[in-house]
Amino acid sequence: MQSIFDRYPYSLYIKLIAQKVREIIDQLLKEHGLNSSQAILLSHIHQSIEEHKEINRKFLEKTMALSGPSVTNLLNGLEKSGFITRNSSPADGRNLRIEVTDKAKQFLSERSDAFSKSEDLITQGMSDAEKAMFVSLLTRAFENVENQLSKR
């Protein structure tokens, strides 16, 4: 008997898994007033601040692989919800300085639950060796796609 995996391309399964995982994470983050994209961006901003990197929209566009309007929309939502503040940079008034609030720091110290729960769901029933192999294969697939895109 033919498996369903033999009938559809890998890209469809990757897309469907990503959509379902995003839905699960969004449900887990709902109580915090965030969605998965906002939580990932907030985490990235916080980590970049900790590493003393200058954060602006262009930096976030590049490092998060998002369009300018998408970054702006996410930042607006984070600011409206009280997770970040944006002020003019003292060094260059044309640039915005993004800072995380105490509310964001509290969320970030607790947020691993949503992402851990989704990872546990994805890898449910896998042995530790299978989980390690899964991560290795995902990483290789990502690098393959990334390398192909960088050749263009």
Global pTM value? 0.73
CB 46 within 8 A of CB 55: no
Please state which of the ranges 35-39, 41-45, 102-106, 107-111 shows the lowest mean pLDDT: 107-111
What is the average per-residue pLDDT within 109-125?
Answer: 83
What is the average per-residue pLDDT within 47-64?
Answer: 86
Residue 145's H or E segment, with its range, is helix 128-150
61-77 pLDDT, tens digit each:
888 888 989 999 999 99
> Domains of the chain: which residue ranges?
4-115
Q: Enumerate residues 6+ apart whose C-beta is below 8 A from 59.
A: 48, 53
Give me the chain's average pLDDT, please: 86
Quickly name the fold that domain 4-115 has. Arc Repressor Mutant, subunit A (1.10.10)
Alpha-carbon gap, residue 27 to 21, rounded angstroms: 10
Alpha-carbon gap, residue 116 to 121, rounded angstroms: 9
